[in-house]
Amino acid sequence: VKKAIDIKKPPEEKSPSGREHLGQSGGTLEAIRRIYMLHEIVLRFDFAPGSEQILNVVRQKARLLLSFDLCLVGLLNRGQTHFVLHSLSPSADAAGVHHHHMSVEEAFFGWVIDNQSPVILELRPGPSAGSDVESRIRKAGMRTLLTVPMRAGNDAVGFLAFGSTSEEVFTEEDIGLAQLFALYLATSLRNMTLLDDTRRRMAQIESINAISRRVASKLNLEELLGVAVESIQKDFQYFDITIFLLSEDKSELILEAHSGNFADLIPHRYRQPLDQGIVGCVASSGKRMMVNDVSKEPRFHSTGSHATKSELVLPIKIDSEVVGVLNVEDTKLYAFDETDAVVLETVCEQIGSAMKNAKLYDEIRRVNVKLTEMDKVKSEFLGIVSHDFRTPIANIMLSGKYVLKNEDIQKNPRVRDQLRLIVDQAQRLSKLADDTLSISRIESGQMEYSFKIVNIERLIQDAISQIQHSPRHKLEYKVDFNATYIKGDQIKLRQVIQNLVNNAVKYSPRGGTVAVSAQDVTEETILVSVKDEGLGIPPEQKDKLFQKFSRVNEGEASKMTGSGLGLWICKEVVVAHGGKIWFESEVGKGTTFKFTLKKSH
Ligand code: ADP
């Protein structure tokens, strides 16, 4: 390229084009005017809100400094591999160089930057052996091109070029001024880029937080991926975003979520083999790929008639295993930079961990459904078994009691005691069958309550009258004057009180008083308590005793037989009445079970 151009040193002799008529003092005045204008223009840079506006100031005001026919700025990308050209005059617009991307290797512009010196290029008419940009400039009728490097501090920013249709037109003064101008322009643009970068980074951090909040709250995988792509598009304004997940056999990628301008072009659940395209490559290697010009990437695979120019693909991993990819496409060349990649990498990590949660949740849900089904089957079975148990057990009990009354039996203590044991055991079995039946009814939602107005005193009397206890125990009850009627199911509430009083007797092996009371606690509620002076319950057992099959398995209590079902049934019945149940206890001193019921007005 360099051979094809003719690099000339700036002319020794001053020949300020079109300004020869000015005398020595006229020249000085002109120089002062130009410095003054430079100052004015630079001031405007300071007020420009963005890089575009700074370049606009150049477009509108540069003519006040210099006569030229074409003006052009080339800005280096972050990686300093490319220039993005900005046309700043009508002839440059017409030459079609605006937003053109050009490698630093192409043409002599890179050379200008490396060498840090201005260059005047005489463009010979005729066919060009130079770069595309250079030939466009030549075609636009330019004969001379003054190019000055743009640097801010130690950073190369790009170049500024002025073209003229005349030959040998730029003076030394022009060159000096252009260099000064380029210095100011570079500094302003660099500051603006730094400011933009900071703003962008802050906005991106906010977006990452917002996206991860939105994504983390989703436990359904499909919904989660949908929210992820929509949020990324909304917050980052990329042209098109897709998420592909690996198929179960890991041979294909399946399109699971899509948001953006190509959404109508590719069908949902579109499948792409793993050995195809950039997405396939990233899914296989687990490494992100940034392709800023897909025409130069042989692995690029177009999935439709769309006009993708840049593509950024990142792996989505769960516990460092690739499960899919996030694919971002754009119709501009060089649409992505390192910051995009780093930010999206963080987003992919968030998506991965949200997917992990969603998967775990899904597994738990499936296991739960299975367990619930098994539990239902078990309850139904228990229901059938316990129901069928009750009749034969009741018959055994009745027959036993009947035979016990027989005088001959009474006279024979050995037979009598054996028979009593049979009746006792049958009674236990009958209670167990009753409890099991209650459980299966509660669990299958078949427990039916018949709510009526119930006199609480009669209910307590009724419950304790049927309780068998040794003479070591004293059973007493007390009912507040105001605690008279409640609304509830008499039979089930009686069972609750009986369970609690039975326990109070059972877990007080040394005897003592068992006191039942009903107190009027608020306008609405009555508190029923069953107090004993028995073994007490260790505090660490407190939370679990109302659960099914839960028993105290230490000390004396563990030696007593029981099923651990009574308290669970009590809790279910009390809760169904809109009440609460709990207990207070001290080991060795006794326990008080309490529950509330709603008054009937
Ligand atoms: P079960 O008495 O058949 O074991 P429950 O559900 O009625 O089942 O009681 C669960 C456990 O709570 C009992 O095993 C016992 O350890 C403890 N418990 C219940 N009531 C008392 C009480 N009044 N005093 C001490 N421990 C009790």
Six token digits for residue 600? 């009937």
Lowest mean pLDDT, pick from 87-91, 211-215, 382-386: 382-386
The protein residue with its alpha carbon nearest to ligand 1, atom 7, reads 566
Task: Establish whether residue 562 lines the binding site of ligand 1, counting it when its CB lies within 6 angstroms of any ligand atom.
Answer: yes
Contact 326, 316 (CB under 8 A): yes
Q: Which residues pair with 555 in a beta bridge?
A: none
Please give the pLDDT value at position 316: 96
**Cα–Cα dist 35/54, whole Å:** 19
Element (H, E) at 511: none
**Cα–Cα dist 139/95, whole Å:** 8
Task: Establish whether residue 590 lines the binding site of ligand 1, counting it when its CB lies within 6 angstroms of any ligand atom.
Answer: no
Rounded mean pLDDT, 9-20: 42
Ligand 1 atom nearest to CA at 535: 25
Q: Ligand 1: which of 552, 573, 587 to mutate, judged by most atoms within 8 Å of the beta carbon?
A: 552
pLDDT band at 574 (very low <50, low <70, confident <90, very high): very high
The protein residue with its alpha carbon nearest to ligand 1, atom 18, reads 503
Six token digits for residue 149? 């490097």
Please give the pLDDT value at position 105: 83
Task: Establish whether residue 563 lines the binding site of ligand 1, counting it when its CB lies within 6 angstroms of any ligand atom.
Answer: yes
Task: Establish whether residue 534 lines the binding site of ligand 1, counting it when its CB lies within 6 angstroms of any ligand atom.
Answer: yes
Please give the pLDDT value at position 114: 84
Checking if the pLDDT of 305 tops 80, the result is no
**Cα–Cα dist 513/85, whole Å:** 98
DSSP one-letter code for 556: G
Please give the pLDDT value at position 5: 41
Rounded mean pLDDT, 83-97: 94
Rounded mean pLDDT, 285-308: 85
Please give the pLDDT value at position 563: 83
Rounded mean pLDDT, 542-570: 88
Please give the pLDDT value at position 10: 41
**Cα–Cα dist 415/421, whole Å:** 10
Task: Establish whether residue 592 lines the binding site of ligand 1, counting it when its CB lies within 6 angstroms of any ligand atom.
Answer: no
Q: Ligand 1: which of 500, 507, 569 to mutate, judged by most atoms within 8 Å of the beta carbon?
A: 507
The protein residue with its alpha carbon nearest to ligand 1, atom 21, reads 503
Question: Half-sphere exposure of 566 toward its Cβ, with a 13 Å CA cutoff?
Answer: 20
What's the gap in Å between 560 CA and the centre of ligand 1? 9
Q: Ligand 1: which of 567, 569, 585 to mutate, judged by most atoms within 8 Å of the beta carbon?
A: 567
Please give the pLDDT value at position 446: 80
Task: Establish whether residue 546 lines the binding site of ligand 1, counting it when its CB lies within 6 angstroms of any ligand atom.
Answer: no
Task: Establish whether residue 552 lines the binding site of ligand 1, counting it when its CB lies within 6 angstroms of any ligand atom.
Answer: yes
Rounded mean pLDDT, 473-496: 91
Rounded mean pLDDT, 262-279: 85
Specify the higher pLDDT residue, 153 or 86.
Answer: 86
What's the gap in Å between 363 CA and the centre of ligand 1? 36
Please give the pLDDT value at position 380: 77
Task: Establish whether residue 504 lines the binding site of ligand 1, counting it when its CB lies within 6 angstroms of any ligand atom.
Answer: yes
Checking if the pLDDT of 125 tops 90, the result is no
Please give the pLDDT value at position 384: 78
Ligand 1 atom nearest to CA at 536: 25
Please give the pLDDT value at position 306: 66
Ligand 1 atom nearest to CA at 564: 8
Those residues whose C-beta lies under 8 Å from the C-beta of residue 150, and which sit 6 or more positions away, are 73, 156, 157, 158, 159, 160, 182, 183, 185, 186, 189
**Phi and psi for 243 in degrees, rounded to 5?**
-120, 125
Averaged pLDDT score across all residues of the chain: 87
- Centroid of chain to Cα 569: 41
Stated length of the chain:
601
pLDDT band at 210 (very low <50, low <70, confident <90, very high): confident
Please give the pLDDT value at position 8: 45
Contact 533, 590 (CB under 8 A): yes
What's the gap in Å between 503 CA and the centre of ligand 1? 6
**Cα–Cα dist 191/583, whole Å:** 71
Contact 592, 514 (CB under 8 A): no
The protein residue with its alpha carbon nearest to ligand 1, atom 12, reads 551
What's the gap in Å between 513 CA and the centre of ligand 1? 17
Please give the pLDDT value at position 13: 39
Rounded mean pLDDT, 472-482: 91
Please give the pLDDT value at position 398: 87
Q: Is 110 helix (H, G, I), strand (E, B) or coil?
A: helix
Q: Highest mean pLDDT: which of 196-200, 339-343, 578-582?
A: 578-582
Contact 32, 82 (CB under 8 A): no
Report pTM. Answer: 0.49
Rounded mean pLDDT, 219-230: 89
Please give the pLDDT value at position 129: 61
Contact 135, 128 (CB under 8 A): yes
First-last CA distance in the chain:
103
Checking if the pLDDT of 206 tops 90, the result is no
What's the gap in Å between 518 CA and the centre of ligand 1? 21
Checking if the pLDDT of 93 tops 90, the result is yes
Checking if the pLDDT of 14 tops 60, the result is no
Please give the pLDDT value at position 116: 86
Rounded mean pLDDT, 157-170: 94
Task: Establish whether residue 565 lines the binding site of ligand 1, counting it when its CB lies within 6 angstroms of any ligand atom.
Answer: yes
Task: Establish whether residue 502 lines the binding site of ligand 1, counting it when its CB lies within 6 angstroms of any ligand atom.
Answer: no
